[in-house]
Amino acid sequence: MAQDDPRRLIPRTDQLMGLPAVRRARERLSEEVVRSLVRETQERARRGELAPDQVEPAVLGALAARSASTLTPVLNATGVVVHTNLGRAPLSAAATEALVAAAGYVDVELDLRTGTRSRRGAGARAALLTACPPAEDALAVNNGAAALVLATTALAAGREVVISRGELVEIGAGFRLPELIESTGARLREVGTTNRTHLRDYAEAIGPETGCLLKVHPSNFRVEGFTSGVGAEQLRPLARAHGVPLVADLGSGLLTPDPYLPEEPDAASALAGGADLVIASGDKLLGGPQAGLLLGRAEVVARLAGHPLARAVRADKLALAALEATLAGGPTPVVQALHADPDRLRARAERLAAAVGAPVVPHDGRVGGGGAPGVPLPGWAVRLPEAAAAPLRAGRPAVLPRVHDHACLLDLRCVPEPDDDRLLAAVRTALTALDGTDDGTGGTR
């Protein structure tokens, strides 16, 4: 390298690592992360992207912007309440507070009164039983798929699971419940047809090899027209007569009926109607952390809890704390979004639209997460140019809109009202980034 090469002026690593601001950053970031950011900035200078005297401020800026997690908080302006790609349910204030408290040492398996070991997750179990009175016992595992795997393993490994062909569904990311169930060592005994299954189909299939009867709520699709199915209340006498447990996988996570979602099954009704065990997710309509919920007869739940697999899929202390607080605390963000007042949503949308010179259009939100497929949630959206979507996603705060019909739509249903000003600032920044021309969608750039 020539003596007059400006790259010789690039600050050395030890000089940069010794800066007071860099030393402070090493208290919240690992040594490896800090050194990596320093090296990346030095490499940018060696490539001529930065002048040597810009290296130090660039390092300090990169460290200030870097957090220990790469997950980015997002304002959900899609109108989809349980958005799988955004982590499904946002936690309530009570659940968030419980999560932080549980990050330290907590009595997750300890009776502080006696100093002896206690039942893990007793508080979450008690909260589940209070929220779903027909359940005799409850167990929480790490997600809904794990709950189904545990149930079919404990009840039917090496035996048959009797299920309607119309309920052999595929869930997100290409996971198919038949393959999930067969991975446990259980054998599927399919009955009926895709559109019609009758009680006699189940009766003819039950035999010495039957481990359980399984009902699966389709969740993310509907079959309409020439159809028939068999409910838990119809299957109950058959299951009792043959001494086999009846399991209902509800998926979406309602514990009790919701008048806004009259066709969505709930755990209390399923148990009262005859199911011995109900499976649901904690991070969908319940509005809590990722968890698989198993509720039902004490004998069946105890059988699952005592199986060796229960240890492998158990919920951790953070999920247990957040689950209990979700059940014991106030209304969750999911409940608030589902029951949002359309007139209030319109007023908020009009305020945002007026501030940026954009129109407001009717817009139906959705439950999401496989819940209540096809059920609209009437509301309103601010219509922006389609090109605004990219800078909104890349902004701070990041905003996820709905891109539809060549427009960028902002539905405020899932945006907490205290964040309206942050959303407005993000929209203004995104529109400023555009070229200032009208793209013909009815919005302005």
**Number of separate helices (H) and strands (E) present in the chain:** 18, 15
pTM to 2 decimal places: 0.91
pLDDT score of 263: 87
Q: With bands split at pLDDT 50, 70 and 90, how would you rate the model's confidence at 404?
A: very high
Q: Strands 110-111, 116-117: parallel, antiparallel or unpaired by DSSP?
A: antiparallel
Q: Which helix (H) or strand (E) holds 240?
A: helix 232-242
Q: pLDDT tens digits for 10-22?
A: 999 999 999 999 9
442, pLDDT greater than 50 = no
Query: What are the DSSP calls for 293-321, one per residue?
Result: EEEE-HHHHHHHHTSTHHHHTB--HHHHH
Give the whole-angstrom CA distance, residue 13 versus residue 99. 38
CA atoms within 13 A on the CB side of 125: 19
Q: Strands 292-296, 246-251: parallel, antiparallel or unpaired by DSSP?
A: unpaired
Look at 43-52, 96-105, 224-233, 352-361 and tell me which has the smallest mean pLDDT. 224-233
- The percent of residues in the chain predicted with pLDDT above 70, rounded, is 96
Q: Is the dihedral of CA 417, 418, 419, 420 positive or negative?
A: positive
pLDDT score of 437: 46
- CA 379 from centre of chain: 22
Distances (CA, A) of 329 to 153, 229, 283, 293: 34, 37, 15, 18
Residue 177 in contact with residue 169, Cβ under 8 Å? yes
445, pLDDT greater than 80 = no
The token duo for 422 is 């942050």
For tokens 């039942």, the residue is 119
